[in-house]
Amino acid sequence: MSNYHIKHLEEYYQVYRKSVRNPEQFWDEIAEEHFVWRKKWDNVLSWDFTKPEVKWFENAKLNITENCLDRHLPTRGDKTAIIFEPNDPKEQAQHITYSQLHARVCKFANVLKDKGIKKGDRVCIYLPMIPELAISVLACARIGAIHSVVFAGFSATALSTRINDCDAKMVITSDGSYRGSKTIDLKGIVDEALEDCPNIDSVLVAKRINSKISMKDGRDHWLQPLLEDAHQDFTAEVMDAEDALFILYTSGSTGKPKGMVHSSAGYMVYTAYTFKNVFQYKEDDIYWCTADIGWITGHSYIVYGPLANGATTVMFEGVPSYPDFGRFWDIVQKHKVNQFYTAPTAIRALAKQGTEYVDKHDLSSLKVLGTVGEPINEEAWHWYNENIGKKKSPIVDTWWQTETGGIMITPIPFSTPTKPTYATLPFIGIQPALMDENGDEIKGNQVEGRLCIKYPWPGIARTIWGDHQRYKDTYFSAYKNMYFTGDGAMRDEVGYYRITGRVDDVIIVSGHNLGTAPIEDAINEHQAVAESAIVGFPHDVKGSALYGYITLKDSGESRNHDNLRKEINQLITDRIGPIAKLDKIQFTNGLPKTRSGKIMRRILRKIASNETDKLGDTSTLLNPEVVQRIIDEKL
């Protein structure tokens, strides 16, 4: 029996039980029947969460691009693989077939090879959402180079940190990018970043906005002429199942970003299998995920998962508000999108505009709606269900992480009855556990705890680049023999999960994970700042927004506060990016601290959220007197 495509709830339970009773046999069958291998594995799984070490499909050989491209050529060569929808709706959309995509990836791989890129080298990709982004990702995979895509909204400092952390040799970028009515000078940002990156040998530059940019002799090369001259065949490099496919950076609660490393075989099997089932993708469907490929959602569910299934995947360059707030619905109508996957923050922003823009469009092609990135509030869920899905398209609220590679807790549409704000049931093969503060598992239903996973799944990240100890400390040390997610969750009376949010110092703003520590580090660089603490507070569009409590040095006391606020947000923009700017900045003459000198962010969080009645006992603080003052002076 093939368990590749689950079609009803009974089947889900049956396959789920099978997948947890005998995971190895289960994944062995999925991997065997639905992918092409250069050589099969000797062993399905070996693992030890105490080291931690996880290996799937040991000694198997493959190239993920043969699964995403070559194998489709005989049957789907003329099928559209990627629909590129440009920022400007007046510019023609591009339909790239599987044969064309294959040729373009091969040409690109030849260019990489020509420029000295070899298997195992790291290549940093800093591109807007244009076809070259997907193509360069696949070209790296084809040659066996490890791609590290950096979201093109990150600043020069954030980019150079990521380039240096993995010691990349090459950067792939563009002359600039379009974002609504604006253009962004991406090449300028790269040039600035590279002042601190001595090991970059070459920069490939795609032409997008035709701006005047400077090209450094010997280092920078225009991409298009190189591609034109390149051969359109490239024999895929043979990769080991456990060879790294890519690195993707995610914020940590402390210090520098974590370069999560994903494998070749396990990641492929997991993203393909989840894609097929979570979106119930059928041949000829048009699937659209609005994420940027700079995030894991784009890696797994714009590029690899859809292409491994021979799907048609939409890539949108623009923003939901340009030329107006009807743009998403315009694209759904234009391309007859069947599956639509977006973030709660986008839904809230669009819901704010009422239904005027929605009503003007024909959304009848939609069959499945998805959300990802943060908890979806009840109001947004209903708005999405009623106005976009017309109560006919199930909503899949998918919980997962950069670290998990693919979707972990989710309804299966048309099988799992949905429930607003609940991600519902574990996906096939996923064994969640809720843990209490003493490290014991909380069994039974109607309980709440910290969300862990008890058993490996093929998509789990294998390490943090260059820092296996940090991987162990972050994910495998809080609870014995468990992967700790950093999230809290509830389990209801029927076993459905509801994710309640982060339990660490990560704040999710508009679906972007932001660690408080790097933001505080940036603020503290300001010469007038003595100390700072960042907390999240509820925001009707962003989900959470950032509230900063800042104490000034004596020298800063006389400065104009509004100017200081501007300078501080500029510093954050320079160090991290505009997504990390603070919504509110309150200057205060002290921060509440424990006796050991730790800032009590819990108290600051309550104040920022107007929950001062729930402060609890503050008398044990080192400086309880500052609390009332902060409340009185709250913004």
Q: Say if CB 262 and CB 246 are below 8 A apart.
A: yes
**142-150, 368-376, 428-436, 558-566 -> range binding ligand 7RM (CB under 6 A):** 368-376
Which C-beta is closer to ligand 7RM: that of 175 or that of 374? Answer: 374
Is residue 30 within 8 Å of residue 269, measured between CB atoms? Answer: yes
252 lines the binding site for ligand 7RM (CB under 6 A): no
Closer CB to ligand 7RM, 149 or 296, in the complex: 296
Which of 385, 398, 586, 588 binds ligand 7RM (CB under 6 A)? It is 398
Residue 402 in contact with ligand 7RM, rule: CB under 6 A: yes
Contact 546, 514 (CB under 8 A): yes
> 176 or 486, CB closer to ligand 7RM?
486
Select the span of 133-141, 271-279, 399-407, 411-419 touching ligand 7RM (CB under 6 A).
399-407
Among 237, 374, 505, 520, binds ligand 7RM (CB under 6 A): 374
State both tokens at 362.
């024909």
- DSSP assignment of 402-468 equals GGGSS--B-PPTTTSPP-TT--BSBPTT--EEEE-TTS-B--SSSEEEEEEE-S--TT---EETT-H
Q: Which residues pair with 539 in a beta bridge?
A: 543
Interface pick for ligand 7RM out of 298, 305, 306, 373 (rule CB under 6 A): 373
User: CA 259, CA 254: separation in Å to the nearest integer?
Assistant: 14
In this structure, is the dihedral angle defined by the CA atoms of residues 512, 246, 172 and 121, taken in order, positive or negative?
A: positive
Binding flag, residue 310, ligand 7RM (CB under 6 A): no
Q: How many CA atoms lie within 13 A of 559 on its CB side?
A: 19
Residues 550 and 567: their CA atoms lie apart, in Å, by 13
63 in Cβ contact with 297 (< 8 Å) = no
- Window of 54-62, 115-123, 261-269, 294-302 that interacts with ligand 7RM by CB under 6 A: 294-302
State which H helix or E strand residue 248 sits in.
Answer: strand 244-250
CA gap 478, 326 in Å, rounded:
45
Could you give the CA distance from residue 224 to residue 342 in angstroms, rounded to a whole number? 32
Query: Under the criterion CB under 6 A, does residue 220 sit at the interface with ligand 7RM?
Result: no
Interaction of residue 296 with ligand 7RM, rule CB under 6 A: yes
Can residue 457 be called a binding residue for ligand 7RM (CB under 6 A)? no
Residue with tokens 């603020």: 523
CB within 8 Å of 213: residues ≥ 6 apart:
175, 176, 185, 187, 188, 205
Q: Which of 121, 237, 317, 397 binds ligand 7RM (CB under 6 A)?
A: 397
**Nearest residue (CB) to ligand 7RM, 100 versus 342:** 342
Compare residues 248 and 314 and give the one whose CB is closer to ligand 7RM.
248
Residues 547-586 within binding reach of ligand 7RM (CB under 6 A): none
Residue ranges in 94-153 that form contacts with ligand 7RM under rule CB under 6 A? none
399 binds ligand 7RM, rule: CB under 6 A: yes
Among 227, 293, 314, 372, binds ligand 7RM (CB under 6 A): 372
Residues 509-528 that bind ligand 7RM (CB under 6 A): 513
For residues 48 and 378, which CB has a smaller minimum distance to ligand 7RM in the complex? 378
Spatial distance between the Cα atoms of 609 and 587, rounded to a whole number of angstroms: 17
Considering only the stretches 129-137, 304-312, 395-403, 605-613, report the one whose residues sit in contact with ligand 7RM under the rule CB under 6 A: 395-403
Which amino acid type is present at position 294? G
Please give the structure tokens belonging to residue 59: 């000694």
For ligand 7RM (CB under 6 A), the number of binding residues is: 22
Task: Find the part of the chain contacting ligand 7RM (CB under 6 A) among 56-64, 175-183, 396-404, 553-561.
Answer: 396-404
Is 250 an interacting residue with respect to ligand 7RM (CB under 6 A)?
yes
Comparison of 265 and 343: residue with beta carbon closer to ligand 7RM: 343
The encoded tokens of residue 12 equal 């889900």
The single residue listed with the structure tokens 């952390």 is 165
Judged by the rule CB under 6 A, the positions of this chain that interact with ligand 7RM are 250, 295-297, 372-375, 397-402, 423, 485-487, 499, 502, 508, 513
